[in-house]
Amino acid sequence: MADAYMGQFLMVDLTRETTRAVPVPQWLKDQFVGGKGFGAKLLYDLVPPGTNPLGPENVLMFLTGPLTATAAPSMRACAVTRSPLTGTYLDSFFGGRFGPEIKYAGYDGIIIFGKASRPVYLWIKDSRVEIRPAKGIWGTSTLEANALIKKDIEEPEARVVTIGQAGENQVLFSLICCEYNRQAGRGGAGAVMGSKNLKGIAIKGSRIVKVHDLKAFDAACKGAYAEIAQSAACATYTDGGTSSAIPWSNEIGTLPYRNYKSQSDPQADKIGDEGQKKHLFLGKAACFACPIRCSQMGAVRTGKHSHFITDIVEYESAALLGSNLDIHDVRAVAHLTKLCDEYGLDSMSAGGVIGFAFEAANNGVIQSPPGVTLDFGNVQGAEYLIRSMALQENELGKLLSQGVKRASTALGGNTGDYAMHVKGLECPAWGPRGTPGMGLAYMTADRGACHQRGFMIGYDVGGDEYNGQPVEPYLTKGRAVILVELQNFIAGTDALVKCDFTTCGLSSETFAAMLSAATGKPVEADYFNIIGEKIWNQTRLYNVREGFLAKDDTLPRRFIKEVLPDGPHKGQRISQEDMDYMRRDYYRIRGWDKEGRPTSETLKKLGLDQAPDFMERP
Amino acid sequence: MTQILSIKTNFDLCTGCSLCQLACSQRLLGGYNPHRALLRITHKTENLYHFPLVCNQCENPYCANVCPVKAISRNPQTGAMVVDHDTCIGCNMCRKYCPIEMVGVDPDLNKSVKCDLCNGNPACVAVCPTGALELAYRALPDKKNNEEADHG
């Protein structure tokens, strides 16, 4: 009986150049659902402790969820691996059209082992899988490689993921570019792909994805579309994508400015929806099966950088390559973002690294090379660093391409004070001084500083109520309990694999109705919190096994030591005492010991002490 | 004037989301795969443009013209060219001569499939969130008699 799964993983061993399909065990579906859940369990079981993230023993997985490829709105997929940037568990979610195609080819996921002896790409057409030489494609950008692979296989309708030059060169924050120009951006999954000599994967599938109860599923999906159509939050995304978050973030005092020195940017509006509508947007594009269409497609038609096609400059890119670098020509910010996309660099980490480098140059720690100015506001300096890192053109580029954590360690002095990262992952564009809940979210996110594992800003300053009560600003008390709930729900729905923006408009009941009808296993609205708690603890088990403990659940020194000089939260910081209190509170609620290890009672309660090992190997 | 139903495509409004294709494959095959749907979307210029393509329900239907068993004929109510699966022998001649490949044998059904306008209420149009697909009526000049053009 159909249950919306395809029932098998494709296992690829690039070292031996073999591939085979293996069944997805029923227990894995029952206990870990899909997406992030599969990733959490499989990474723990498949990758031995202490594995070099860039060695052949690391695995790279592309995982779907039970609702991916169906008519359920906006379901995506994720790349999961051990991060070379942080050493932690890494999942990176991507929209577009590649994820669904995995299922149309007949798989719930692709699991890649080993390392090819020469550059290759994979061509998967249903059950036929080829490992093909990437000669003539290696060395090209993400988008060039996409076109070249389609040409090589003579299949314009294939869905392709690629890495750019940055991934080939194993820049630690390189991305995987997913059909079309959607990024598995954070944490360096592109470097893992590059370390395996894998330039791309092309897929085309003819299989039908079938759900258990089509009539009930159709009704649940139609209900979901209606909810989205009525949602004011979703309407904001339809209108201007995430670009309108720029003025909002500035207003609530969380927009990073000049390497997070401040959280208030006087020229923010130029790079937000106002500036982007004027200078960039022409039409809208949607990810697969998404009625929201948050992606605003356009072109830079005027100025120094014309002409090129640009996607929306998402909030994170606009803030980190714009405000954070004190650059306010939105066309220039679009240009820098496009460079990152094409070379295959995570634009968020790139913005963090460049901000760090500009500040270090201001402090005299690094010198601007002849003809280049490394300073805030300088587009050419930013462009120079992006190219230097992606192409490994010089020593500075090589140093910075390892991220701010390693770069500050190498540079020494007080550079660590303004290296803005958690566990090595550069911070997202929500300065947390004044929003302690968001600080705790960064401290405890499984892949390092991440805003998508629990977006506390809404409660800290956004006016969201918790259990019908307003949330007192600046308090550390009571933040952990809200964050734990958010993290659980997000991890649970990331098993599907949902999109964060659709979730703004969909109720838990609707997710439950779609999942129940699709799999034939009835679940209630609280299911996602329950399964999410289990998944969150499974990723924690991985990180604990790799040595991440309480000492690592911390914030960059700037957020701890320096009070905000201006803006709505002038005078705010998150002190050591604040962090210690919130961490203790969080561990207590999680059922973790004082070092942040899940206790045996917690593992027992969640059934993680009994979970079987995934035994299949290629 | 005779009015016949048709689906008008508006590439300027299409976002490439494929909800139309999913609705189509759901009706046709009871499951999901946009490649198996009876309409197509082509993404162009780095995803800036999306071109939906639907069956033209031709006045001069090459698919029907070449069908060796005359399995494709016009439904007088909807004006759609419809495949009669009891007659179709699955030879795929229709696909060979359709210039936009909007008809052809489905690998599971082993019969030719094409857009039949869902008997007048197309699922693709109903689900389109932007109006990129819309129902329209084509106004055709009256013929002297009601017969199709004679290609015999």
pLDDT at B147 over 60: no
- With both helix axes pointing from N to C terminus, report the angle between A142-152 and A330-343 in degrees, rounded to the nearest 10: 50
pLDDT at B150 over 70: no
Sequence spans of domains, chain A:
8-204, 239-426, 436-606
Residues A436-606, CATH architecture: Orthogonal Bundle (1.10)
Dump the DSSP string for B71-133: -EEE-TTT--EEE-TTT-----HHHHH-TT--EEE-TTT-SEEE--GGGGS-HHHHH-SSSSE
Dump the DSSP string for A529-549: HHHHHHHHHHHHHHHHHTT--
Chain B interface, Cβ < 8 Å to A: 12, 15-19, 22-23, 25-26, 29-33, 35-36, 43, 45-50, 107-108, 127, 129-130
How many Å apart are CA A235 and CA B90, to the nearest integer?
46
Contacts of B48 in chain A (CB under 8 A): 282-283, 285, 297-299, 309
Cβ(A263)–Cβ(A431) below 8 Å: yes
When pLDDT is cut at 50, 70 and 90, the band that residue B144 belongs to is low
Contacts of B30 in chain A (CB under 8 A): 208, 210, 214
How many Å apart are CA A536 and CA A590, to the nearest integer?
10
Tokens read off for A449 = 């500083």
A555 residue type, one letter: L
Task: Give how far A287 is from chain B: nearest CA, Å.
Answer: 6
Nearest to A286 among B15, B25, B30 (CB): B15
Q: Which long-range contacts (CB under 8 A, 24 or more apart) does A295-303 make?
A: A295/A241, A295/B47, A296/A240, A296/A241, A296/A243, A297/B46, A297/B47, A297/B48, A298/B48, A299/B48, A300/A331, A300/A334, A300/A335, A302/A331, A303/A329, A303/A331, A303/A332
ipTM value of the model? 0.96
When pLDDT is cut at 50, 70 and 90, the band that residue B22 belongs to is very high
3-state class (DSSP) for residue A607: coil
Residue A55 pLDDT? 98
Q: Which residues contact A255 (CB under 8 A, 6 or more apart)?
A: A246, A249, A263, A264, A265, A268, A319, A323, A429, A431
Nearest to B32 among A70, A204, A285 (CB): A70
Chain A interface, Cβ < 8 Å to B: 2, 69-71, 97, 104, 143, 157, 180-181, 204-211, 214, 218, 225, 229, 282-291, 293, 295, 297-299, 309, 311
Task: Give how far B141 is from chain A: nearest CA, Å.
Answer: 36
The three-state DSSP-derived secondary structure of B40-84 is: EEEEECCCCEEEEECCCCCCCCHHHHHCCCCCEEECCCCCCEEEC
Q: Which residue of A has its CA nearest to B106?
A: A206
B45 residue type, one letter: T
When pLDDT is cut at 50, 70 and 90, the band that residue B3 belongs to is confident
Best interface-test mutation with B: which of A183, A297, A301, A309 has the largest number of B CBs within 10 A? A297
Residue B152 pLDDT? 41
Which stretches of chain A drop beneath a pLDDT of 70? Answer: none
- Enumerate the β-bridge partners of residue A82: A89
Render pLDDT for A322-332 as a digit per residue (tens, 0 to 9): 999 999 999 99
Q: Which residues contact A192 (CB under 8 A, 6 or more apart)?
A: A53, A54, A58, A60, A81, A82, A84
CB contact under 8 A, A283 and B48: yes
What domains can be seen in chain B, in order of their start residue?
1-54+117-137 (3.30.70.20), 57-114 (3.30.70.20)
Cβ(A29)–Cβ(A523) below 8 Å: no
- With both helix axes pointing from N to C terminus, report the angle between A527-545 and A35-46 in degrees, rounded to the nearest 10: 30
Residue B149 pLDDT? 47
Tokens read off for A481 = 């309990």
Nearest to A206 among B17, B32, B107 (CB): B107
For residue A581, what is the enclosing H or E element? helix A576-590
Nearest to A143 among B25, B29, B46 (CB): B46
Cβ(A87)–Cβ(A53) below 8 Å: yes
CB contact under 8 A, A297 and B17: no
CB contact under 8 A, B47 and A207: no
Q: For B42, phi and psi rounded to 5 degrees?
A: -110, 130
Closest CA to A449 of A430, A480, A421, A479: A421
CB contact under 8 A, B46 and A205: no
Contacts of A282 in chain B (CB under 8 A): 48
The CATH number that domain A8-204 falls under is 3.60.9.10
How many Å apart are CA A447 and CA A425, to the nearest integer?
7
What is the assigned CATH class of domain A239-426? mainly alpha
When pLDDT is cut at 50, 70 and 90, the band that residue B4 belongs to is confident
CB contact under 8 A, A208 and B17: no
CB contact under 8 A, A180 and B50: no
CB contact under 8 A, B12 and A290: no
How many Å apart are CA A62 and CA A79, to the nearest integer?
5
Other CB atoms within a 10 A radius of the CB of residue A61 amount to 22
Cβ(B93)–Cβ(B68) below 8 Å: yes
